[in-house]
Homo-oligomer: A and B are copies of this chain.
Amino acid sequence: ADIVVLPGDGIGPEVTAAAVAVLREIARCFRHDFEFASHDIGGAAIDRHGDPLPAATVGACRRADAVLLGAVGGPKWSDPGAKVRPEQGLLALRRELGLYANLRPVRPHPATLGAAPIKPHLLAGVDLLVVRELTGGIYFGEKTRSVDAASDLCSYSTFEVERVVRRACMLARQRRGHLTSVDKANVLETSRLWREVATRLVRDEFPDITLEHQLVDSMAMHLLSRPRAYDVIVTENMFGDILTDEASMLAGSMGLLPSASLGDGDGGAAEGQPGDARAGDRSTVIGLYEPIHGSAPDIAGRGIANPVGAILSAALLLRHSLGLEAEALHVETAVAATLEAGIFSADLMPEGRAADTDEVADAVI
């Protein structure tokens, strides 16, 4: 399998190196042939090519079986007047590849409950999956800027809502069959569309799924007060961005959480066209895998970043893009064993001697 690696900025190169080392070990043990090729994205690509998403990077991703990404961004490129920004590269890649469904599983590990700000008794048994819409909404709408005003347009089509809710339903079917759709339907028109489409789709195509609607503000609360009540949560791009960072606190550290961004396996060809591309019917789809944490410029280059989010992203890559379920489970089990052994990076262990990035990766391997 051909795997494109996009290290990106900050701690990106450190954590992807750890994840690649784990994948190499999987290839060795299970006798697979994984080829890795690194390409530039984000700030690193701006510095080298003046473009946060060079054409060569997109081309390589399209030809690959899967893409593993670190993180993008940093103060170096965040000047308010900057013409290009690292984040544009990531956003454009998600869109180019048609990766409309961003899966962010949150399953707090008993060993890391100490690091979570949430009371442990609320966390036992929490196992939720946020499916964030990733190629629409206010992230991609028209923007305007004048001397004394600015605007961002949030828009959604029925097609865009349907496909991501359908994907969430399929995932819910493989889990506990419960779907929570999050919107702000008491204020936003896009949310009213979202709620109508979700309601109709579940009624017509997934009568076996129980659907609940939550307003985003009240979800931000319930995620903390009763996290066990949720199974699959589906929501639009911006709400998903906020809620998943919040949800990471259930796990103890953002550094622990992986994500998978999936399309329909057609490289985004169906983008914007109403159709019935049934996502998930095929066992492998093109996918981009990245930890949910950012580039953490404050600790970059020090070798102390938590590689678990990136390593678990590699596990999702094995599962979703390569169809290697046993191998994925192998990685997940090794991560669990590492955490059980108390091998924690600094984010999980503010005091005492923490393990560095390589030590965590070696323990997993």
**Measuring CB to CB, which residues of chain A are less than 8 angstroms from any residue of chain B?**
73, 78, 80, 85, 87, 91, 117-119, 122, 138-139, 141, 143-145, 147-159, 184-190, 192-193, 195-196, 199, 216-218, 220-221, 224-225, 238-239, 241-246, 248-249, 254, 274, 294
A117 to B123, alpha carbons, bound, how many Å? Answer: 10
- Top 9 nearest A-B pairs (CB, nearest first) are A151-B155, A150-B193, A143-B189, A217-B245, A220-B246, A148-B158, A150-B189, A149-B157, A224-B249
Contact (Cβ within 8 A) B245 A152: no
CB distance from A124 to the nearest CB of B (A): 13
A119 to B238, alpha carbons, bound, how many Å? Answer: 28
| Of A143, A147, A199, most B-chain CB atoms within 10 Å | A143
Partner of A193, one of B145, B155, B156, B221: B145
Which residues of B lie under 8 Å from residue A144 when comparing CB positions? Answer: 155, 189
Contact (Cβ within 8 A) B91 A187: yes
A185 to B151, alpha carbons, bound, how many Å? Answer: 12
Contact (Cβ within 8 A) B157 A154: no
Contact (Cβ within 8 A) A151 B190: yes
A-B contact pairs, 22 of them (CB 8 A): A78-B185, A80-B199, A87-B187, A117-B122, A141-B151, A145-B189, A148-B157, A148-B159, A149-B158, A150-B193, A151-B153, A151-B190, A152-B153, A152-B188, A216-B242, A217-B241, A217-B245, A220-B246, A221-B246, A221-B248, A224-B249, A225-B249
Contact (Cβ within 8 A) B190 A152: yes
Q: Which residue of B lies closest to A147 (CB)?
A: B158
Contact (Cβ within 8 A) A153 B153: yes
CB distance from A104 to the nearest CB of B (A): 12
Which residues of B lie under 8 Å from residue A117 when comparing CB positions? Answer: 118-119, 122, 224-225
Which residues of B lie under 8 Å from residue A139 when comparing CB positions? Answer: 187
Contact (Cβ within 8 A) B184 A238: yes
Which residues of B lie under 8 Å from residue A192 when comparing CB positions? Answer: 80, 145, 150
CB distance from A228 to the nearest CB of B (A): 11
Which residues of B lie under 8 Å from residue A152 when comparing CB positions? Answer: 153-155, 188-190
Contact (Cβ within 8 A) B153 A224: no
CB distance from A187 to the nearest CB of B (A): 6
Partner of A217, one of B185, B187, B188, B242: B242
Partner of A189, one of B151, B224, B241: B151
Contact (Cβ within 8 A) A78 B156: no
9 extra A-B contacts, CB within 8 A, seeds A117-B118, A152-B189: A80-B195, A117-B225, A118-B118, A138-B138, A149-B157, A149-B193, A152-B188, A218-B294, A221-B254
Contact (Cβ within 8 A) B155 A150: yes
Contact (Cβ within 8 A) A185 B80: yes
Partner of A274, one of B148, B159, B189: B148
Q: Which residue of B lies closest to A223 (CB)?
A: B246
CB distance from A289 to the nearest CB of B (A): 19
Q: Which residue of B lies closest to A192 (CB)?
A: B80
CB distance from A162 to the nearest CB of B (A): 10
Which residues of B lie under 8 Å from residue A147 when comparing CB positions? Answer: 158
Which residues of B lie under 8 Å from residue A85 when comparing CB positions? Answer: 186
CB distance from A300 to the nearest CB of B (A): 16
CB distance from A315 to the nearest CB of B (A): 23
Q: Which residue of B lies closest to A160 (CB)?
A: B149
A225 to B254, alpha carbons, bound, how many Å? Answer: 11
Given contacts A80-B195, A80-B196, A192-B80, contact A87 B246 (CB under 8 A): no
